[in-house]
Structure 1
Amino acid sequence: MNDWLDALLDETAIAHDQRTLQSALSDFAARFQFSGYAYIDLRFGHTFAISNYHPDWQDFYLKNNLKSLDPVIRHAKQLRRAFSWSADMATRPMSKAETSFFAQAATFDIRSGITVPVALPNRGTAMLTMASSKPKVAIDDKIDAVMAASVVAQIHARIEALQVTPSVEEPFHLTPKEKIFTRWLEHGKTVQDVADVENLKYNTVRKTLEELRGRYDLCNNTQLVALAIRRGLI
């Protein structure tokens, strides 16, 4: 397993742009007989993936918010270290939705794999998964959790530095009214200020922003503004 991690670090360390990084990850997956790779960045209100999984699966996954159902993501957040997984990894009977999740993933040759999560600021999580079409991934020895985390943390830093364009990104949109309110917040206005400027009741503005934050699991208006700017919506 340590040789596997050494190879992953060596192959991605020389990547100097988005194309070579994604090529290195794809080549690595193929070299070690994985069906594909997926790097997922999970932060409040902003989830994206860089992956060579089938585009139909990536699109279906995010559009149907499967991250809230995905047992691998849930296990990664709980365990917070490298682990191998498969459809029978659950310690309890799986729900119909979870069973369906694994069945759908299997149609895209995702039946098992190795996932390495790392912590991000503000309670975020990033994880790299190498998926396999086999029922279980064969591991010769115990995964070195410290080394695995170090390798994936370095890959995360390279993705950040290269500003890699996601393969898929969590949908995020604003209605015209939400966009107006958010733009006023960007200019430093309070909720009461927005209500006054737009000649609306305070509760109308407050409720609109509250529902918007809830839709994308955002903590406050500052986070809302930051996300809207990052997505180029205001």
Structure 2
Amino acid sequence: MNQLVAGLLEIGAVAHDDATLKTALADLAKRFEFTGYDYAKLLPGDFSVISNLSPDWLKRSRKFDVERRHPIMKRAQQIRRVFVWSAKEEQGTIPEENKIFYETASQFGIRSGITFPIAISNGGISVLSFVSPKEVLRGWEEVDPIAASSAVGQLHARIEQINVMPSIQQPFYLSPKEATYARWLALGKTVEDTAKIEDVKYNTVRIALADARRRYDLCNNTQLVALAIRRGMI
């Protein structure tokens, strides 16, 4: 239904603060008889979720995602376009771990939904889902994928602009030494430069940064610095 996309475009254009945006998304979900909405932003080593679904479900859903057992998020990352899903239509053709996901979701009244994934900067992805207690959604295959991507892209930009408070977020911390070393890297210094400035051994800096990267499954120091800046640690 392209009216849903039109509603998303309107929210992306006019929402001016945290409360207005969240209320508008909840009202849009209700208008189309969905249980609620779930907007997830995934970046290397980081995630945040804005949603009006049960906090208990959000924690369980994120656990499925971290363990690579979340079929909706896996599909979103693979195809990067709007899709409709339901537990009933996939019965008999899905792995056991996916069955566990759908069985858990059904305990919270989530049996089907429509999901809008888009690629964002820094190798990330934003995924907006509207979920339903219905066993199967009908008629939603007609959603224009290009218009849908545009609408969610505009919504993502608005969320970033007004700095919406997440419902849940990846915990993040750096030790004082890790933060100091990352701060020097952010200023353009190398690991070797940082060791000289701090009057410590090269391996001391290298190992400290490696420990921080490993903690958040990051590939390099550039990702670590970017994450630390986003979280206001440096």
TM bracket, shorter-chain basis: 0.7 to 0.9
- For the residue of structure 2 that corresponds to 1:137, the secondary structure is coil
- Judged with a 3 Å threshold, the aligned counterparts in structure 2 of structure 1 residues 207 and 90 are, in CA distance, closer, same or farther, namely farther
Shift in Å, 1:157:
1.7
Q: Which residue of 1 is the match for residue 59 of structure 2?
A: 59
Superposed CA RMSD in Å reads 2.5
Q: Which residue of 1 is the match for residue 119 of structure 2?
A: 119
Q: Distance in 2 between matches of 1:32 and 1:6?
A: 12
Q: Which residue of 1 is the match for residue 40 of structure 2?
A: 40
Q: Which residue of 1 is the match for residue 213 of structure 2?
A: 213
Alignment length, in residue pairs?
233
Shift in Å, 1:22:
0.7
- For the residue of structure 1 that corresponds to 2:122, the secondary structure is helix
Q: Which residue of 1 is the match for residue 75 of structure 2?
A: 75
Give the percent of matched residue pairs that are identical in Structure 1 and Structure 2.
47
Q: Normalised by the size of structure 1, how large is the TM-score? A: 0.86
- For the residue of structure 2 that corresponds to 1:160, the secondary structure is helix
Is 1:170 aligned to 2:170, yes or no? Answer: yes
Q: Distance in 2 between matches of 1:202 and 1:11?
A: 50
Shift in Å, 1:39:
1.1
What CA deviation, in whole Å up to 9, does each residue of 1:8-56 have, x standing for no partner? 3335533221111110000011111111101111121221111111112
Q: Which residue of 2 is the match for residue 27 of structure 1?
A: 27
Q: Which residue of 2 is the match for residue 95 of structure 1?
A: 96
Q: Which residue of 1 is the match for residue 2 of structure 2?
A: 2
What CA deviation, in whole Å up to 9, does each residue of 1:162-196 have, x standing for no partner? 22121211121223442333233334432223334
Which range moves more in the overlay, 139-148 or 46-55?
139-148
- For the residue of structure 2 that corresponds to 1:122, the secondary structure is coil
Q: Distance in 2 between matches of 1:230 and 1:124?
A: 13
Q: Distance in 2 between matches of 1:231 and 1:144?
A: 35
Contact conserved, 1:12 with 1:25, CA < 8 A, in 2? Answer: no
Q: Which residue of 2 is the match for residue 152 of structure 1?
A: 152
Which range moves more in the overlay, 61-70 or 174-183?
61-70
Which range moves more in the overlay, 144-153 or 61-70?
61-70
Amino acid at match of 2:96: S
- Judged with a 3 Å threshold, the aligned counterparts in structure 2 of structure 1 residues 191 and 118 are, in CA distance, closer, same or farther, namely same
Amino acid at match of 1:43: L
Is 1:227 aligned to 2:230, yes or no? Answer: no
Contact conserved, 2:12 with 2:154, CA < 8 A, in 1? Answer: no
What CA deviation, in whole Å up to 9, does each residue of 1:74-133 have, x standing for no partner? 11121111100122548953133x332222222222221000111212332112100111
What CA deviation, in whole Å up to 9, does each residue of 1:201-226 have, x standing for no partner? 43343233123213323232232122
- For the residue of structure 2 that corresponds to 1:113, the secondary structure is strand
Q: Distance in 1 between matches of 2:91 and 2:174?
A: 38
Alignment of 1:172-211 (within 5 A): 172-211=172-211
- Judged with a 3 Å threshold, the aligned counterparts in structure 2 of structure 1 residues 177 and 80 are, in CA distance, closer, same or farther, namely same
Amino acid at match of 1:122: N
